[in-house]
Structure 1
Amino acid sequence: MTAFARRAERIQPSAIREFLALAGDPGITSFAGGYPDPTLFPMGELHKIYDDLLTPDNASALQYTASDGLPELRAQVAARLTADGMPSTADDVLITQGGQQGLDLTAKLFVDAGDVIVTERPTFLGALIAFNPCEPRYVSVPMDEEGMDVDALEQVLRTTERVKLIYTVPDFQNPTGRTLGLARRRRLVELAEEFDVVILEDTPYRELRYEGERVPSVKSLDTSGRVVHLGSFSKILAPGLRLGWVLAAPEVLEKLSLLKLAADTQNGTLNMRAAAAYLAGFDIESHIASMLPTYRSKRDLMLRTVAEHFPDGITWTQAQGGLFTWVTFPERLDVAAFQRDLLIPRAGVIVVPGAPFFAERPEAHHARMSFSGVPDDRLVSGVRAMGGLLREALS
C-alpha cells in the first residue's frame, strides 16, 4: 500500500511494546515494563464499587456522559490538584485515557511539522511515540542528579528556532528516576516565559515518593497559563482503568477537549464512575501511603542486589521515588545485543535497552530497569543472573 500519510513514516514499533510481549511468558523475569505491583491494587474496594454500579438502578454507569469527563470526577481531581498547590476547579480539568492521551492531544494542539520539541536526555519513550506523528524536530538537554540542566536549556532556547514545547517528567523521571530541583523548576518557568514556549509537565509518578521532601509542581509555579500539567491514576489506583487528566489554561483546555472529542468521544463511563465512587467512599491518600513501603523495599532490594552482583564499571541512579533505576554500562556494551544474545536466551531476563529513550543521538550502553512489578525472589535471582552474564560479556 502506498497511500499512507507522510506522518505514518514516523510511526515506529515501540521497544517497550516488543519486550512487554515477552513479559507474558511465565518463564521470563521482566524488569522492562513500569508495571505497578498488582498485589497493591485495592481489589476489595473496587469489587464492591463495580458490584454496586452494575445494577439496574445504576444503568447510567453504562451510558454516554460528558466528553471532557464525568463532572464529579473532574471536581475530585481538581480538589486533589488544589491540595497539591495547583488551585483549580472541575472546569480546569480534562479526563483522558491515561496520561498517554494527554501527550498525544497536547502535541496535536501545539506542534506543526518541523517545530522543535525540547526533551530531557534521555526522555520517556512513550512521549516520543506520541509526538512523532506530528513530525517534530527534537533537541535534547542533558541531565544530572538534579534533573534537566537549565543552563543548557537556556542555550538551546537562545540558538534554536521554532521551539514550541519543552517536555519534562520532573518527578522521578522515566527512565532515569531523577527529580528536577526546585530552583531549576523556577528557572524552567522563567525561561519558558522569556522565550514564549509551552511546558508540558508529565507527572505519573509524582505521588510515589519514598524519601525526601516533596517538590512543588512546575504547574504550581506557572503565572501565565503556559504549563500543561498531566497526571494519572495508573500508578496510584490501577492502570487498567485508563484514567488520567490534564490541567491547563481555559483556552488550551477547550481545544484539547475538542481534540479528545474527535479522537474517542469520551472515556468509559463505568470506569470514571468507579474512580469517582472510590474517591468519594475511600481514602486514596491512605491507600497511596500504604503502597510506599512496598515500593521502597523493592527499590532498596534491587539497588542492593545490583551493587552486590554487577561487575565494576557500571553505575545506576538511586531515585527517591517512582518505579525505575537507570543503569549505565561501559560504552563498549550494546545492551540490545547483550539482551538478544545472552540475557534472554540464557537467563530469561528482560530490561529495556536505553537507546530508544534518546530523542536524538541514541546511546546503546544504558538500560531502564523497573523493580515495581517483580516478586522479590525473582528480582534477586534475575539481577544475580544478569550480573553473571555481564561479567562474561565485559571480560
Structure 2
Amino acid sequence: MPAAVSAAATTSAATAASATADSASATAPPPAFAARAASVEGSPVREILALTERPGVISLAGGLPAPELFDTEGLRAAYDAAFAVSARRALQYSTTEGAPELREAVAARATGRGLPTGPDDVLITSGSQQALTLITATLIEPGDVVLVENPTYLAALQCFRLAGARVVAVPCDAEGILPDALADIVVREQPKLLYTVPTFQNPTGRTLPAARRAAVARTAARLGLWLVEDDPYGELRYEGSDVPWLAAHPGAEDRTALLGSFSKVMAPGLRLGWLRAPAALRRAAVVAKQAADLHTSTVDQLAAAHYLAAVDLDAHIATVRTAYRARRDALQSALSRSLPADCAWSLPAGGMFLWARLPAGHDAADLLRTAVAHGVAFVPGAPFYATAPDPRTLRLNFTTHTPAEITEGVGRLRVALAEYGGLGGVGGVSAGGRP
C-alpha cells in the first residue's frame, strides 16, 4: 500500500475511533416526566407561606393551628408513655391498618358523634391528605369524572388532577351544594365520586345543612356515586348545633369514605389522620397504602393512643374553640371597621377561614403584592376554583394570630387596598356565609 494511502487510512481509522469514543461518552437525557406531573401546578398557599416568612409580616394566609395552644406537656408525656410501655414496639414496623388502640379510640369518638363505628371500620393514615390520596388511587382512572364544590380545597384539586381525572364543579350557593343541580350533573357526566367538605368548608367556611346532606345521600344511592366526605374542621364549632355527618344519612352507608384528622385538634406535626369506609373500599385502600408507605409512624400512633387515653381531648378542644372564636370575632370586627362598603365576606360558624370578595374590577392576586409590601398576607381565591375562578375572592385565616395582631393585620390590609384601588368608605357587608 502506498504511504499516502496508508497514512490516510490510519487517519480515518483514528477519526472513527475518536467518534466512537465520543459517542460512548456522550449522555442522553432521561425520559420525560409523566404528563400529569407537568400539568399540575404547585400550591400557591405553600408559595405564599414561604413568601411571608420574613419577620414582621402578619400572615392571614395559612391554614395553621395556633402553636401556643398545642398541649405540649400532654403530648410529651404521651410519647414518654409509648416508650415506657414498649420502646421495642414503638420503634418497630406495624400493621398497615394501624395500631389497634388508636383505631379503637377513633372508632369510639366517631360513635360518640353519632356514627356507629368499630375499630375494623378504620384505617389510620399519615394525615387525612393521605386518606384522600389512597381513595383517589383506589377509585380513579385517567379520564374519570370527579365532582367537587366550587370553590374547593386546593390540595384535593391537585390530587384529582394528578390522577388524570376530569374535575367538574357542582353549582353551590351560600349553604353549599345544590342537590337538584348535583342530580342533573350526575346523570349528564356519570362521575365516579363527589368530593365535599360539608362542614366549615375550606376555603369558604360554609356548612351544608342536614336536609341537603340527606338529599345528596339519596342522589348518590339512586344514581350510583361514591361520596368522599372530608371533615378536618368539624370539631371546631363556635356557635349553633352540630350537623350529622353525610356518612350518617340513609343511602350513604355503603358508599361514603369519611376522612378525619388529628391535625386541627391535637397537632399537625403528628401527621395522623384516619379513613372510615365500607369494607371493600377500605381493603383496597389498605393495599394502596402498603404501596405508598407500608404503615403510618408507629411511635406517633402509640403516643396519640396514650394521649387519648390519658387526656380529655374534648376539654382541650373546648379551650381551642374559645380562643379561635375570639379570633374569628376580632377578624369580623376589624373587617367591619376597616374595609370599604362594597367589599363582602362570610361569617363562618366554625372552622378556620373567612371568605371575602373585593369590589368589581379588582383582582386579589394583584392586591396581594401590595399587601405583602405593607406587611400582611392572604390567599387569593382563584386557585380554589375548579372552573371559572372569581379573581376578586380571597381567603383569610384567623386561627394563627391573636386578636390584636389580627386587628393590626386588617389595618395594614386597608392601607394596601387604598393604595391598590383607591377604595373609599368603610363598613363592608358580612354576609353570613355569602361573600
Q: TM-score, normalised by structure 2?
A: 0.87
Q: How does 1:322-337 map to 2 (within 5 A)?
A: 322-337=351-366
Rounded to whole Å, the distance in 2 between the matches of 1:222 and 1:231 is: 20
Matched-pair contact (CA < 8 Å) for 2:218–2:250: no
| Percentage identity across paired residues of the two chains | 42
Query: Residue 26 of structure 1: which of 55, 61, 86 is its match?
Result: 55
Q: How does 1:131-150 map to 2 (within 5 A)?
A: 131-150=160-179
- C-alpha distance 140-212 of structure 1, shift in aligned 2 (>3 A): same
SS of residue matched to 2:124: strand
Q: CA deviation at 1:55?
A: 4.9
Query: Residue 261 of structure 2: which of 222, 226, 232 is its match?
Result: 232
Q: CA deviation at 1:108?
A: 1.1
Q: CA deviation at 1:10?
A: 3.1
What does residue 224 of structure 2 align with?
Answer: 196
Deviates more, 1:219-228 or 1:94-103: 219-228
Deviates more, 1:145-154 or 1:270-279: 145-154
What does residue 130 of structure 1 align with?
Answer: 159
Give the aligned residue type for 2:193. Answer: L
Rounded to whole Å, the distance in 1 between the matches of 2:32 and 2:349 is: 48
SS of residue matched to 1:344: helix
Deviates more, 1:281-290 or 1:231-240: 281-290
Matched, 1:187 2:215: yes
Q: CA deviation at 1:337?
A: 1.4
What does residue 358 of structure 1 align with?
Answer: 385
Q: CA deviation at 1:57?
A: 4.7
Query: Residue 344 of structure 2: which of 315, 335, 339 is its match?
Result: 315
Query: Residue 349 of structure 1: which of 365, 372, 376 is its match?
Result: 376
State how many pairs are aligned: 392
What does residue 96 of structure 1 align with?
Answer: 125
Matched-pair contact (CA < 8 Å) for 1:10–1:135: no
What does residue 205 of structure 1 align with?
Answer: 233
What does residue 410 of structure 2 align with?
Answer: 383
Q: CA deviation at 1:136?
A: 1.0
Matched-pair contact (CA < 8 Å) for 1:310–1:388: no
Query: Residue 268 of structure 1: which of 288, 297, 302 is its match?
Result: 297
Matched-pair contact (CA < 8 Å) for 1:115–1:163: yes
Matched-pair contact (CA < 8 Å) for 1:81–1:88: yes
What does residue 165 of structure 1 align with?
Answer: 193
Matched, 1:80 2:109: yes
Moved over 4 A (4+): none
Rounded to whole Å, the distance in 2 between the matches of 1:96 and 1:175 is: 23
Q: Which whole-Å deviations, capped at 9, do the CAs of 1:327-373 have from their partners, x for residues lacking one?
A: 01123111111112x1112x121111001000112221100100001
- C-alpha distance 254-304 of structure 1, shift in aligned 2 (>3 A): same
Q: CA deviation at 1:52?
A: 3.2
Rounded to whole Å, the distance in 2 between the matches of 1:256 and 1:158 is: 27
Q: CA deviation at 1:9?
A: 2.6
Rounded to whole Å, the distance in 2 between the matches of 1:23 and 1:83 is: 40
Matched-pair contact (CA < 8 Å) for 2:270–2:300: yes
Q: CA deviation at 1:83?
A: 1.2
Matched-pair contact (CA < 8 Å) for 1:309–1:388: no
Q: How does 1:287-326 map to 2 (within 5 A)?
A: 287-326=316-355
- C-alpha distance 56-173 of structure 1, shift in aligned 2 (>3 A): closer
Rounded to whole Å, the distance in 1 between the matches of 2:329 and 2:170 is: 29
Q: Which whole-Å deviations, capped at 9, do the CAs of 1:255-281 have from their partners, x for residues lacking one?
A: 001101100111111110110001111
Q: CA deviation at 1:210?
A: 0.5
Q: Which whole-Å deviations, capped at 9, do the CAs of 1:108-143 have from their partners, x for residues lacking one?
A: 111111111111111000111121111111111232
Matched, 1:392 2:416: no
What does residue 216 of structure 1 align with?
Answer: 244
Rounded to whole Å, the distance in 2 between the matches of 1:362 and 1:237 is: 33
Matched-pair contact (CA < 8 Å) for 2:161–2:167: no
Q: CA deviation at 1:2?
A: 4.1
* Larger Rg belongs to: 2
Give the aligned residue type for 2:201. Answer: Q
Q: TM-score, normalised by structure 1?
A: 0.96
What does residue 137 of structure 2 align with?
Answer: 108
Deviates more, 1:105-114 or 1:384-393: 384-393
Q: Which whole-Å deviations, capped at 9, do the CAs of 1:211-251 have from their partners, x for residues lacking one?
A: 00100000111544101100000011000000000000000
What does residue 51 of structure 1 align with?
Answer: 80
Rounded to whole Å, the distance in 1 between the matches of 2:401 and 2:179 is: 35
Q: CA deviation at 1:168?
A: 0.5
What does residue 371 of structure 1 align with?
Answer: 398
Structure 1 stretches of 5 or more lacking a match?
Answer: none
SS of residue matched to 1:167: strand
Give the aligned residue type for 2:361. Answer: R
- C-alpha distance 267-222 of structure 1, shift in aligned 2 (>3 A): farther
Matched-pair contact (CA < 8 Å) for 1:295–1:372: yes
Matched-pair contact (CA < 8 Å) for 1:11–1:133: yes
Rounded to whole Å, the distance in 2 between the matches of 1:392 and 1:141 is: 36
- C-alpha distance 56-216 of structure 1, shift in aligned 2 (>3 A): closer
Give the aligned residue type for 2:421. Answer: L
Root-mean-square deviation (CA), in Å?
A: 1.4
Rounded to whole Å, the distance in 1 between the matches of 2:256 and 2:85 is: 43
Give the aligned residue type for 2:89. Answer: S
Rounded to whole Å, the distance in 2 between the matches of 1:299 and 1:315 is: 16
Q: Which whole-Å deviations, capped at 9, do the CAs of 1:286-345 have from their partners, x for residues lacking one?
A: 1111211111000000011011101121110110000000001123111111112x1112
Q: CA deviation at 1:392?
A: 3.0
